Amino acid sequence: MFIGPVAEQYLRQFASQQEVDKTFGIYDKDGKFYIGDSPIEIDSDNITVKGTEYTGTPGLWDLLIMKQPDR
């Protein structure tokens, strides 16, 4: 897994568990990341869920990680 700069910024917040949404956002289970019951892949800043790749913009990462996303 190659982590890009945007993904790294948000995953660092995830690791520190400050202001992250572990109920509806990304969570870690057995060394893999999930959204709901779906495993996800992270490549650079992009996220792949169920075979669909999403461009890893700061807005997407904010929605997936933070309890209170920036509007």
pLDDT grade, residue 18 (50/70/90)? low
Mean pLDDT of 45-60: 95
Report residue 58: phi and psi, to 5°. -55, -35
pLDDT score for 15? 63
Residue with tokens 């870690």: 28
Query: What's the pLDDT tens digit per position in 31-45?
Result: 888 888 899 999 999
pLDDT grade, residue 49 (50/70/90)? very high
**Rounded to two decimals, what is the model's pTM?**
0.74
Sign of the dihedral through C-alpha 16, 55, 29, 37: positive
